[in-house]
Chains A and B, each alone.
Chain A
């Protein structure tokens, strides 16, 4: 069964460093997403991406965050200057369409620890 894959599974980085989290969405999917889950908190929406541009972003997704689809398969989340509060599990997801009710498939997550 096709799945969303994410790398790395775990990354430790120093505060202020740049981090890139990588994702390979399911191949025929057109919508891509990043969500995050801070330890002990809810899973939160960060951003959705369609047709090579951001379609929606949350208030969490400020200027230090960016997303990119550098080629036909990868979808990346970059955090420019990491802060301690960026420590979280980051989930990449994808879906065939953007309509409500369309299933969104998640990867296994990338656990980011900022020290």
Chain B
């Protein structure tokens, strides 16, 4: 079984300050982990993914995440928030199934960016 826990349902930052969105995972095998973003009235867009290569993963729009096995964490960070980063962010774990790749989503973190 696999699961993810997003520790904060809402995060509010000022524009230009760092962003930290926290995620812990649980998996009975070596997981693949993703962050997806959902802007209002838009679909789910992949930000970045970890698949057992480098533990520090760089994604789009300046986001990155670090896989820490000892802490079972995959936190998402960005050095400087922009207004356009306001969206909902989902931490996702995937695992092989009988015939496809099944994603398990966290509950999401709503990021608010203020002037």
Contacts and interface: CB of A to CB of B under 8 A. Distances in A.
Interface of A: 4, 31, 33, 35, 41-45, 48-50, 55-56, 91, 95, 97-109
A101 B103 contact: no
Interface in B53-112: 90, 94-108
B49 A103 contact: yes
Given A42-B106, A44-B105, A101-B32, A106 B97 contact: no
Contacts of B45: 106
21 contacts: A4-B43, A31-B101, A35-B103, A42-B108, A43-B44, A43-B103, A43-B105, A44-B105, A48-B102, A56-B99, A56-B100, A97-B101, A98-B101, A100-B31, A100-B51, A101-B32, A101-B49, A101-B51, A101-B94, A108-B42, A109-B43
Contacts of B100: 31, 33, 48-50, 55-56, 95, 98
Interface of B: 31-32, 34, 36, 42-46, 49, 51-52, 90, 94-108
B32 A104 contact: no
Given A98-B96, A98-B99, A101-B52, A91 B104 contact: no
Contacts, number: 76
B103 A56 contact: no
Nearest to A107: B43
Given A43-B105, A103-B46, 20 more contacts: A31-B101, A41-B107, A43-B90, A43-B103, A48-B99, A49-B100, A50-B100, A56-B99, A56-B100, A98-B99, A99-B96, A99-B101, A100-B94, A100-B96, A100-B101, A101-B52, A101-B101, A102-B101, A105-B46, A107-B43
